[in-house]
Amino acid sequence: MVNIQRNIYVEKVDGPPIEEQPVELVERKGIGHPDSICDAIMEATSVELCREYQDRFGRILHHNIDKGLLVAGRTAPRLGGGKVVEPMRLIFGDRATYEYHGIDIPIGEIAESTARRWLREHLRFVDPLKHIVFQNEIKPGSPELTDIFSREVIGANDTSAGVGYAPLSETERLVLAAEKFLNAPSFKNAFPEAGEDIKVMGYRLGKNLTLTVAMAFVDRFIQDARMYFDRKYSIQKELQAFITDESGTLDSVTVAINTLDDPERGDAGMYLTVLGTSAEAGDGGQVGRGNRVNGVIAFNRPSTTEAAAGKNPVSHVGKIYNLLSHEIASHIYREVGGIREVTVWLCSQIGKPIDRPLIAEAQLILEPEALPEDVHDSVIAVIDRELEDIQSFTHRLAQGELSVC
């Protein structure tokens, strides 16, 4: 095995970990949020293209499907059930390889069939044949970037940085758990009126956490205003009990749902939808505006502006490094003792092999008794090992084994 010298830097940083900072803000956009829909469908499309390229040619070809846009439709919600007036529109964008060695690849057909399947599996009330239209704006890739894939070692397609951290704070963990609880099949069986479009904002002040939840109610299950507010109260109690059981170090948890509601305003004072998502009428969506690759939007943490969903999993460092940095951080935290919190930065240089970043850095907040020299070599060894095995990591990405939203 060739011994590759990588540019790896480890430093101790001062300051309290996120858990000990006085204020923390964390957001999670649920699976039915317009931004989450875009991220999930574009990522699923990339996975299907990877499978198609592999099956046909034995390799993954150039593509990036990360410029998706969901244009809101128009509906008329009402108690007991409303109607869809105008369908949503999903626009697929960016680049892909349409032809290779004289063989054509049906990019548009793959994208649309993938989107229809995802919608059927994740949004109970969206009929992909009636409630949404598709627009394929995926164009052929540029020759220079396409040429990267013909090289023996695939190089980075961009000069870009990724950042990840470990562990999740309690606030991050609870915000993520709250959305997954509300969108779980068992919860939908108990509360079918709870739509998939759910957003959770967590605000922690000291040891007190406030969760503000926006939840789209499905109008066909709500017969009158009293039923709406009764069911909302029941949902709030269920979530309150769940989060209280899940919390560890917090002194209190407060849950509020649909705080814009006003019983005095009739139908307009309730968050009613026909299909369970605001994309049906009120809000469009776009790739990159949703959750970060670890499932939350953590405002106190470092992050990049890269949108991972839909990007090529074997060359696009805007995707690879953002996910890999979180994975490396998790390995460091679990495997190396004396670390309270770790942040990992990876920066690429366009055209250079992705296993040899321009810089890989780990910033450590240590336990009081731990010394930098106690952990330095072990941290470097973890980073070096994970970069050495980067092809296995990109294979997992291409197979859709890792969530990006």
Mean pLDDT, rounded, for 82-98: 97
Mean pLDDT of 176-181: 98
Report the sign of the C-alpha dihedral through residues 393, 395, 400, 405, in that order.
Answer: positive
Q: At residue 143, does pLDDT exceed 60?
A: no
List b or e across 355-367, with b for residues whose CB sees 16 or more CB atoms inside 10 angstroms: bbbeebbbbbbbe
> What pLDDT does 29 receive?
98
H-type alpha helices, 265-361: 317-335
- Cα→Cα distances 65→280, 301, 319, Å: 23, 27, 12
Average the pLDDT over 223-248 and give the result: 96
Q: Which is it for strands 359-366 and 8-12: parallel, antiparallel or unpaired? A: parallel
Contacts for 52 with CB less than 8 Å, ≥ 6 apart: 105, 110
Q: How confident is the model at residue 2 (pLDDT cuts 50, 70, 90)?
A: very low
Burial of 158 (0-12, 13-18, 19+ CB in 10 A): middle
In this predicted structure, the answer to whether residue 151 has a pLDDT above a threshold of 90 is: no
Kindly report the average pLDDT of the chain as a whole number: 94
- Kindly indicate the confidence band of residue 145, based on its pLDDT and cuts at 50, 70 and 90: low
What are the tens digits of pLDDT across the range 313-342?
A: 998 999 999 999 999 999 999 999 999 999
Please give the pLDDT value at position 374.
94
| Average pLDDT value for residue range 217-244 | 97
CA distance 34 to 109: 22
Encoded tokens for 372: 């930098």
Q: How many residues does this entry show for the chain?
A: 405
| Cα(355)–Cα(391) distance, integer angstroms | 8
Q: Homologous superfamily of 23-28+186-286 in CATH?
A: S-adenosylmethionine synthetase, N-terminal domain (3.30.300.340)
21-41 per-position pLDDT tens digit: 999 999 999 999 999 999 999
| Tens-place pLDDT, residues 343-399 | 999 999 998 999 999 999 999 999 999 999 999 999 999 999 999 999 999 999 999
Q: What six digits make up the tokens of 86?
A: 């105008």
Split at pLDDT 50, 70, 90, the class of 146 is: low
User: Within 10 A of 7 (CB to CB), how many other CB atoms are there?
Assistant: 11
Q: What is the pLDDT, as a whole number, of residue 150?
A: 52
The H or E element containing residue 8 is: strand 8-12
Q: What is the pLDDT of residue 1?
A: 34
CA distance 393 to 391: 5
Q: Hey, what are 349's tokens?
A: 């240089």
Report the pLDDT value the prediction gives residue 205, as an integer from 0 to 100. Answer: 98
Phi, psi of 122 (to 5 degrees): -120, -25
pLDDT digits (tens, 9 = 90+) for 101-112: 999 999 999 999
For the chain, what are the domain ranges?
23-28+186-286
What pLDDT score does 240 carry? Answer: 97
Q: Which H or E run contains 243?
A: helix 225-246
d(CA 56, CA 113): 18
E strand intervals along 106-181: 132-140, 161-166
Output the DSSP codes for 84-97. Answer: EEE-EEEEEEEEE-
